A and B are shown apart, each in its own frame.
Chain A
Amino acid sequence: MSAIATPTTPITRRAAGTKHKKRPRTASEWIVLTLSIVGALLVIAPMLLLLINAFKSPSEYANSNPLELPHALSFDGIRAFWSGHNFPRALWNSIFISGMVAILGVILSVLNSFAIGIGRVKGRTWLVLVFLMANLVPQEMLFDPLFKLYDKLGLLSNSWSVIITFTVIQSAFGTYLLSSLLGTFPKEILEAAAVDGASRFRSLRSVIVPILRPTLSVLMVFFFIWTWNEFLLPLAFLNTSDSLTVPLVLQQLNGERQTDTTTLIAGTLISIIPTIIFFLFFQRTLTRGITAGAVK
């Protein structure tokens, strides 16, 4: 971004500053606030609807308006989904897959970007673009060849098919982000490490990675959540009921014709809960990460 000249003198700044605090809130400001709140309520309205209806018994659901609160709490739907659809297994699959991708993806990103950002190898601009292709290529391009490959390797319906694939796809973004960060890494630190006799790998492990830790944890959070939300390739690679992830279990339930609506609603609510918990835990990391990722 081009540098901006700030045409303000200290005098106007002070004047504006004091003026701002004393001015009472105007009617139009209240209107803007109200509209922002109404908009936010619209955004969470579908989830509120879920919450209201997930605890109704099938008969109460059939006889009530979706906007009515339940008269008595019924856990039938939740119980039916939890045990009938092997939800704990799906939850574990999702956690294992997303967790492994988060860790392996960050390790791979660090290795790639070390060579590009610190090593400054020849043709590094092109290398970043080559790695970035992994993020650009549509997944249906990968789907058929990888399906056959994993079939041959006996990895179909095995978490590792998805882990390997998404480690590569996510590390594309990590490589891209970390390369530009490491490109401006303070050389004095590396020189000091080299003078102390540290090898390249040693400087990477004991100097660079600890300094990068905040960024790496942001990347990990993102890799985790992106992988958790993936749909197409897991749908293609994971075909046994033991191997499904949370979104796949829910989608399968949605496709079954005889499903009780209350089971479906309860299932949707339960599938959202891990994400919401994760969101509350990492809210700050997430907002930091989105911006770090998009724009520097």
Chain B
Amino acid sequence: MSSLTRIVRPQKRPAEAARIPERGKSKLGYWLYFIPGAILISVVIFYPIVRNLRLSLYHWRGGRAAEHFTGFDNWFALFHDSAFLQSFTNIALVVVAMVIVPTLVGLVIAAALFDVVGRRFGGKISSLLRATYYLPQILPIAVAGVMFSWILKPNGDGVLNQILSGIAGHAVTVNWLGGQYSTAIASAMVLMIWIQIGYPVVIFMAALQRVEPELYEASELDGANWFQRFRAITLPQIRPEVFVVSLTTTIAALKVFAPIFILTMGGPSKSTYVPSFYAYEEFIKGPDKGYAATIASAITIVVFLVAVIFIKVQTRSERKDA
């Protein structure tokens, strides 16, 4: 069972099992252990959240300038701000690149590595391949971004353009990152897919290990082909992992920052903005820190909502199973 659901519905134990015989000590003493954690999380997490939510109700140029209370003006402005709306539309594409494609392709790769490569060609080859797919996950995203921006340089300088020129037989001079919106966002999506792909592969392969091999062998004897087994056994068995992967990658997609910062800086002309990058730009260069705080608060609210909805859906579907 996924640990997320364990948190929401903590395992029930008989009351006496929880007791540890301790002479005259109350549970109150355990609160002492929270002191460092509570202080730190208040300063590092809760103070900024409260501060930004409050600031979203003000106009403030930053520095020593006075703060002007404006109520929900910033929030109304947000919904008419084409840059913000564009940044949120782009999130749909980021979800495709960080959630949908990696989960689907990861399922196929994991099944292929586990079911065919691991079983028929040996575990060594399959774990080597698994490690290769996982490698981009542990590279610093900034470093991966610099690497891709080198490959995707425009005109004849770009590695990709040079390779394509060699194949095509004539000069290819696409400006992958800056020319137009479609190639810029597509390039960023390729980078995100490349980074993400190994994560579902590793999780799904571990999940498959948990599935009883007898299930497969029995179905094979019954004459089921690979695809039928995949649909009837693999998918239902690893549903909890599919859920966890989609939850964590969706949240990561909502917060995505570095690939855009390194590759396109939001360009050409603000078209590849994502909300995180927009908030960052406004905090750094914008005329109104209150507005920057509003963008950041909006992202935070969406992230929390998505997490709550996901967990609710999961809890319900597990209850149905039970």
Contacts and interface: CB of A to CB of B under 8 A. Distances in A.
B45 interface: yes
Nearest to B281: A140
A29 B132 CA distance: 20
Interface stretch (B74-82, B95-103, B176-184, B297-305): B297-305
Contacts of A47: 135, 147
Contact of B37 (A6, A112, A275): A112
Given A139-B255, A145-B51, A183-B10, A121 B31 contact: yes
B104 interface: no
Contact of B34 (A111, A136, A190): A111
A198 B322 CA distance: 41
12 contacts: A2-B318, A13-B217, A29-B120, A46-B194, A115-B30, A136-B307, A138-B299, A139-B276, A143-B296, A177-B3, A200-B30, A287-B127
Nearest to B17: A187
Interface string B112-135: 110011011100010101111111
A47 to B, nearest CB: 8
B280 interface: yes
Report the 9 A-B pairs with minimum CB-CB distance, sorted nearest first: A119-B30, A16-B217, A247-B142, A8-B214, A145-B48, A291-B206, A40-B132, A140-B279, A115-B33
Contacts of B244: 294-295
A102 to B, nearest CB: 14
B243 to A, nearest CB: 9
Contacts of B307: 136
B300 A36 contact: no
Given A33-B121, A142-B45, A268 B20 contact: no
A180 B206 contact: no
A149 B300 CA distance: 20
A229 B139 contact: yes
Given A138-B296, A168-B40, A8 B218 contact: yes
Contacts of B83: none
B143 A271 contact: yes
A33 B117 contact: yes
Instruction: Determine the main DSSP class of B at the interface with A.
Output: helix
Contacts of B266: none
Contacts of B309: none
A116 to B, nearest CB: 8
A250 B197 CA distance: 24
A142 B10 CA distance: 30
Interface stretch (B65-73, B85-93, B158-166): B158-166
A153 to B, nearest CB: 10
B133 A131 contact: no
Contact of A138 (B41, B150, B239, B254): B254
Interface in A92-127: 108, 111-112, 114-115, 118-122, 124-125, 127
Contact of A16 (B45, B147, B166, B221): B221
A12 B222 CA distance: 11
B212 to A, nearest CB: 5
B276 A33 contact: no
A49 B112 CA distance: 27
A127 B7 CA distance: 10
Interface residue range, chain B: 35 or more
B133 A43 contact: yes
Given A114-B33, A231-B142, A128 B7 contact: yes
Nearest to B209: A291
Contacts of A2: 318, 321-322
Interface residues of A, number: 113
Given A17-B217, A167-B40, A187-B17, A40 B212 contact: no
Interface in B265-316: 276, 279-280, 283, 289, 292-293, 295-297, 299-300, 303-304, 307
A296 interface: yes
A228 interface: yes
B118 to A, nearest CB: 10
Nearest to A234: B142
A51 B127 CA distance: 23
Contact of B241 (A119, A121, A187, A295): A295
Contact of A140 (B37, B245, B276): B276
B44 interface: yes
B174 interface: no
B31 to A, nearest CB: 6
B241 A294 contact: yes
A53 B36 CA distance: 49
